[in-house]
Copies of this chain bind each other. A is one copy, B any other.
Amino acid sequence: MAPPSLVANGGDIAVGKPPVTSRVSSVYSEVQNSRLDHPLALPSVFAKPFKVVDGPSSSAAGNPDEIAKLFPSLFGQPSAVLEPSETSDSGSALKIGVVLSGGQAPGGHNVISGMFDYLQERCKGSTLYGFKGGPAGIMKGKYVVLTPEFIYPYRNQIQKERAQSHWNTQNKFSPVSVLTKIILKKNEIAHEKTMGGFDMICSGRDKIETPEQFKQAEDTATKLDLDGLVVIGGDDSNTNACLLAEYFRSKNLKTRVIGCPKTIDGDLKCKEVPTSFGFDTACKIYAEQIGNVMIDARSTGKYYHFVRLMGRAASHITLECALQTHPNITLIGEEVASKKLTLKKVTDYIADVICKRADLGYNYGVILIPEGLIDFIPEVQQLISELNEILAHETVDESGLWKQKLVPQSLQLFELLPPAIQDQLMLERDPHGNVQVAKIETEKMLIQMVESELELRKQVGQYSRQFKGQSHFFGYEGRCGLPSNFDSSYCYALGYGAGALLQSGKTGLISSVGNLAAPVAEWTVGGTPLTSLMDVERRHGKFKPVIKKAMVELDGAPFKKFASKREEWALQNRYISPGPIQFTGPVADISNHTLLLELGVEA
């Protein structure tokens, strides 16, 4: 490990004491404390000497010719697999940087812990730099040198022989608020910590895009003499990681770049990367809430709960929550798009189920709605794209004259929408110029539209009950929960594996841990060429590489299982209440339906 004197300017030094921002004593919850003792297994390939072997060469997810042009150094490189070996290289010390990019996802800290432990155990004398605040930290050269003491409070499993001793001797005792006679073994901690979100080095949404920004990243890599950089992020961030890998390679820099699949949305995955981390925990947190709301709905007997779930464009989270809880209605954006449903059709579908349930004596229910739903409805897409155009180029006058710029069908739809939704559609765009779907209260919109529809049916005698909608949005509370045992282990393996890939000189790969339905010991470890996940999009007249979002596949096992059950769930009450995530006991290590169905383990 680099002694403090070697730490360059711009870096907070955190050796043997908490970082500046958290020097003031703080305490942990009892559950957080208990997580420090959670043992993390590693895939058994790490138990003995191993080597990194190459798989077959790769292509691209689409337009390989264009991808080859965009990534001349990297295109076609083989995947990498860790295999048992007779001997193991005793690795030389490495200087590695790590950055968290994009939205939060439970488990990010464990990726860093895994990397750190790999370097500590296999490449003695290595230094791990944590870039602060996302990719901006790379560009600005803002980082912290990660030490056992710094990382300790963020990991599930303390490496007692190392960190604990440092900690005890160099830090004051700050008692945990003691609620019971339980004596917590690890209550000698004075450090702001969490294990769910990204506040160890914080994340950021900046991108390294312009030639100047690439040069800044190069300067940082050169200044710190980086052997490698690990980018923990979603599809955009991993695309960026690949561009950086290509750039460094083209400049003959020694800095390798490895990606890690992070997103609660679950839309960054492929055969070799069966899931993104965070998805498991987030879905379980949402499903707990949904299960509770279901019991409440049935107990009270008078509300329809419309639950919108985070997840951006893809409906994976909504689908997984449906598989966990069996709601009466679940809207899947990809199906709505595929069937070209209109808002009216969606509304009618919900109203139909409500009427049928009324006939059976049920005046309550639970309905799941993906965050990105309205983006999937063709007529709404049309409206939004017209609005994007108008908002970019026109002044929007109070009197509403601007509406004349809409085509008649879009104007009609716009006027049909409740005023609050109209307002939300006119709100600011995200940095990419997209409607911020998270800000559109689709659940409230649907409640109002269903209410109107049921009112009409009442007038013609098709419905006679009183409809009461309750709206929910489950989002932020799922991004930063304590990671489930699955995510904890998965992240640790991803980070540990990333260390192995860097040590073996790999670049432009995404850390890939497979065979996830088996016990951790049997998991496979390797790396998949990022270029093999790429396609191109044409933007502003240029080809731009993108990792295609993995959307819900309507012929995939998770959707098919849902589709085979939904009619039953609609009319009968098959609610399941998953309860809170458990970290110990017989149910703690179960992963999620989507993953197991896709792996063919669950029927």
Contact = CB atoms under 8 A, between A and B. Distances in A.
A551 interface: no
A104 B203 CA distance: 40
Nearest to A182: B586
Contacts of A288: 477, 481, 580
Counting chain B CB atoms within 10 Å of each CB, the highest count among A29, A34, A579 belongs to A579
A581 B248 CA distance: 47
Contacts of A602: 177-179
Interface string A575-588: 11111111111110
B582 A583 contact: yes
A292 interface: yes
A349 interface: no
Given A177-B602, A180-B589, A288-B580, A199 B299 contact: yes
Nearest to A282: B292
Given A196-B292, A476-B293, A582 B579 contact: no
Contact of A35 (B33, B197, B579): B579
Given A296-B476, A476-B305, A480-B292, A32 B577 contact: yes
Interface in A266-303: 285, 288-289, 291-296, 298-301
A207 interface: no
Given A177-B602, A477-B289, A582-B584, A577 B295 contact: no
Contacts of A31: 577-580, 582, 587
Interface band, chain A = 35 or more
A563 interface: no
Contacts of A28: 576
A225 interface: no
A324 interface: yes
Nearest to A574: B26
B298 A199 contact: yes
Given A32-B577, A202-B301, A293-B477, A590 B192 contact: no
15 contacts: A26-B574, A29-B576, A34-B586, A35-B579, A104-B299, A180-B589, A180-B590, A182-B587, A182-B589, A199-B295, A203-B299, A292-B478, A296-B479, A480-B577, A580-B580
Given A583-B585, A584-B585, 15 more contacts: A29-B324, A29-B576, A31-B580, A32-B576, A34-B587, A178-B602, A199-B298, A202-B299, A203-B300, A292-B481, A293-B480, A294-B480, A296-B479, A470-B476, A582-B583
* A-B CB proximity, top 10 nearest: A31-B579, A580-B580, A197-B295, A295-B480, A30-B587, A197-B299, A296-B480, A198-B299, A584-B585, A289-B477
